[in-house]
A and B are shown apart, each in its own frame.
Chain A
Amino acid sequence: MIPKKKEEIHETVEPQHPAKKPKKKKMKPVPPNKKLNTGNQNVTGYAFISPFLIGLFSLTLFPILYSLYLSFTDFDLMGTPNWIGLDNYQRMFTEDPTFWKSMKVTFFYAGVAVPIRLVFALLVALALNKVVEMVGLYRTLLYLPSVVGGSIAVSIMWRQLFGNDGAFNSILATLGLPTHSWLGDPDTAIWTLIVLYGWQFGSSMLIFLAGLRNIPKTFYEASSVDGAGPIRQFFIITIPLLTPVILFNTIMQVIQGFMAFTPSFVVTNGGPVNSTLLYVLYMYQRAFEYFDMGYASAMAWVMLVIIAIFTALIFKSSEHWVHYESDAK
């Protein structure tokens, strides 16, 4: 609490970047020189970042605004876009049960798969942090699914793995357990995708592992002198100091979860009975199978707003649970 206050005072006294201040003072006695210098720097700076700026305007900002416009039209790629006002949105929210189905599926998928992946990644990282020997080997093996997970080959393999004659049923049969049509049953099909997502916990695990390595050993030593056991240490040292990493991971994974496409496209193609129709898959079908570009653009905007709200909520809530090291010192 006290250091926080100190920082606030610090900020009110020196609103400018404190680190840059001494340099500015040195510069001040020669203003013409400085002006000339910054003028040059402006040109050079913009020259260096110009590819980014061109891309930003032509491939991000313009398309985003163009898609907002399209979402109020009936554009079908062939004709000219006709303004139809809020029709697409109205149709989506009131007349399209498939839209709501895909929304439900996506929320369920992201809501279950993302926490599973993160918890898994954290637990495995903690375990790896404790193992003394052969960490490198374990880390490599556990990271492998993440490395290849984005490929079509893995999605195809997954479809066969959980198919009726696949390895998973074959293992169950060998163990004397009942087999099941995992991909054919609307209740279980989504779980094969969730398991596929959770299985690729490797990159999150590496990020957590790096975070764990950054926690000074002295913290643990000091707390064990004070009589804290390993469980207490986990909750008072490890978790609080990892919260920035957890925050970052959560945001990226939530976005990735909402945007998942390839697994549902390849493993289940949305079926059976739309039980795995992820949002982006439905958007893809609307845009590139029905050429309903206006409607698909409206869908993209709805998802963009949802993601923005989620990201903002996570950031906002982070004030209460994320612990930055500057507070600790």
Chain B
Amino acid sequence: MKKKRITKKTIQHVLMGSFALMMIYPLVWMVSSSLKKSENVFVNSHSLIPSEWHFANYIDGWNGFAGITFGTFFWNSTIITVIATVGSIISSTFIAYGFARIKFAGKKIWFVAMMLTMMLPFEMVMIPQYIMFNKFGWIDTYLPLILPTFFGIPFFIFLIMQFIRTIPMELDEAAKIDGCNTFDIFFRIIVPLIIPAMMTSAIFSFYWRWDDFMGPLIYLSTPEKYPVSLALKLFSDPNSVTNWGAMFAMSTLSILPIFIIFFVFQRYIVDGISSTGMKA
């Protein structure tokens, strides 16, 4: 009986393990290709172990193109991501508190409006927004990428609201008796308790901004202002690339921040997805 259970377990692990390895194979392949000599990348390309380890790809790749190094692109991505993330978390927290705790006329309508905007894809307002920002003279600046996040992100509002709802109302009422007004309650009681939800939102915001491609693609035209995503697309143009190793190296490097955040904050991410069904 015991033996049978052990074999069953082994089969389970063999099946699950090989399936998992199959799924991450493309990612491992990308990393290993970044360490192969360019002329060897597509020779027996499925192999995961480079015949000789060629770390120089990373140096070649970092030099970028048109005299701009990837240092500039990483810096640009960091600026956009950090400002947009801070903006979206601060505004979303305020809005979530308003929806979750304050009773005011018309709240239901605005809440429904928020849930609808959550389902409205960005692509649907992309063209009129572009025309608007074009009129403001904001093309080729970061404003169209950053400013909209300061008006709250419906997914984060919803996530933080769900979290606020788990905090017992008695806490607010006790504070009120002690003489706190709504703002005191918000800053002193609610905010410290919802930091996990804010963290989860911040992590997702980081992912979305770091990966954002369409925004930079339509708004930015000067290569010096490109974030990593757009620069990488240019760098990997199939008609001009010859240094495949360097291209894989920069691809790998571009998702390194995402990996790091993922492994450090995994718990927040899993909780966030499980409770609201956000996509990564």
Interface residues of A in 157-190 (CB under 8 A from B): 157-161, 163, 165-168, 170-171, 174
Contact in complex: B128, A67 (CB < 8 Å):
yes
State the interface size on chain B (CB cutoff 8 A).
90
Contact in complex: A138, B247 (CB < 8 Å):
no
A149-B117 in contact given A48-B102, A52-B110, A133-B9 (Cβ < 8 Å): no
A38 to nearest B CB, angstroms?
7
State the interface size on chain A (CB cutoff 8 A).
97
B61 to nearest A CB, angstroms?
12
- Please pick, from B23, B113, B269, the residue contacting A145 in the complex, using a CB distance under 8 A: B23
Residue of A nearest to B149 (CB): A55
Asked if B273 is at the interface (CB within 8 A of a chain A CB), the reply is: yes
Contact in complex: B23, A199 (CB < 8 Å):
yes
Residue of A nearest to B232 (CB): A152
Q: In whole angstroms, how far apart are the Cα atoms of A75 and B135 in the complex?
A: 14
Residue of B nearest to A245 (CB): B277
B28 to nearest A CB, angstroms?
10
Asked if A311 is at the interface (CB within 8 A of a chain B CB), the reply is: yes
**Chain B facing A: main interface SS:** helix
Residue of B nearest to A63 (CB): B128
Residue of A nearest to B110 (CB): A49
A151-B211 in contact given A45-B98, A45-B107 (Cβ < 8 Å): yes
Contact in complex: A148, B104 (CB < 8 Å):
no
Contact in complex: B128, A152 (CB < 8 Å):
no
Interface residues of A in 18-69 (CB under 8 A from B): 38, 41-42, 44-49, 51-56, 58-60, 62-64, 66-67
Q: Which residues of A contact B277 (CB under 8 A)?
A: 203, 207, 245, 248-249, 252
Other contacts beyond A67-B124, A280-B123: 17, CB < 8 A: A44-B98, A45-B107, A48-B102, A55-B152, A63-B125, A127-B16, A145-B23, A145-B26, A146-B279, A147-B258, A148-B27, A152-B213, A166-B45, A170-B45, A210-B275, A252-B119, A307-B121
What is A's interface to B at a CB cutoff of 8 Å?
38, 41-42, 44-49, 51-56, 58-60, 62-64, 66-67, 70, 75, 77, 124, 127-128, 130-134, 138-154, 156-161, 163, 165-168, 170-171, 174, 199, 202-203, 206-207, 209-210, 245, 248-249, 251-252, 255-256, 258-259, 261-262, 266, 280, 283-284, 287-288, 293, 296-297, 300, 303-304, 307, 311
